[in-house]
Amino acid sequence: MSRIGKAPIDLPSGVTVNVTDGNVVKVKGPKGELTQQLDADLSVGIEDGVLTVTRPSDSKRHKSVHGLYRSLIANMVIGVSEGYKRELELVGVGYRCSNTGNLLEISVGYSHPIMFYIPDEVKLSTSMEKGNPPRITLESNDKQLIGQVAAKIRAFRKPEPYKGKGIKFLGEELRRKAGKTAAK
């Protein structure tokens, strides 16, 4: 039984959900509009500001997609009402970041700076404060897109386990290793 799939989704004020032919769900709110193609067998019901996703049978395939699409719709509702924010830190001597519009320029120890274009749906800002590591902030209403962009930025220089240098998510706990000890 899918506990996640059975859970209802409360729609905040200002958020409208529209299900069109072909099982396409459109969620519109103050932060924008998102669409998602649902599985053909699932059905979406909306009454009294509560959205529910139902499946036709208890087959293994229906059970597996039931919770998935309910979670995707819930993430869309949160995205258009509150939005999502991801922050990354550049930890290392000489590591820098700056942006010009949606073009991110990061210098993380390679012979050349990395230029990375962020999609227009994601709002980018960088900060370089004295005493704190450089920080990249991403904001969007699409949870999947912002997670993909943040993972791609982190992949340019993953944090290494000995000194912890690299690009990491804000608040991420790294597994550290002891390293070599000098022979006496």
Tell me the pLDDT tens digit for each residue of 75-95: 999 999 999 999 999 999 999
* Model confidence, pTM: 0.88
pLDDT digits (tens, 9 = 90+) for 138-148: 999 999 999 99
Residue 121 one-letter amino acid: E
For residue 183, pLDDT beyond 90: no
105-121 per-position pLDDT tens digit = 999 999 999 999 999 99
For range 3-20, the mean pLDDT? 89
159 confidence band (pLDDT: 50, 70, 90): very high
Domains and CATH numbers, the chain: 3-81 (3.90.930.12), 84-169 (3.90.930.12)
Chain center to CA of 16: 22
Give residue 33's pLDDT. 93
Helix (H) or strand (E) holding 175: none
pLDDT at 162 over 70: yes
In this predicted structure, which of 14-18, 143-147, 154-158 has the lowest mean pLDDT?
Answer: 14-18
Rounded alpha-carbon distances, angstroms, from residue 67 to 58, 72, 75, 169 = 12, 9, 12, 27
Torsion of CA 126, 158, 145, 1, to 10 degrees: -140
* Residue 2: predicted pLDDT: 59
Radius of gyration of the chain (CA): 21
Does position 5 have pLDDT exceeding 90, yes or no?
no
Confidence band for 1, pLDDT divided at 50, 70 and 90? very low
Which pLDDT band, with edges at 50, 70 and 90, does 184 fall under?
A: low
**pLDDT of 182 above 60:** yes
Q: How far is the C-alpha of 56 from the C-alpha of 119, rounded, in Å?
A: 37
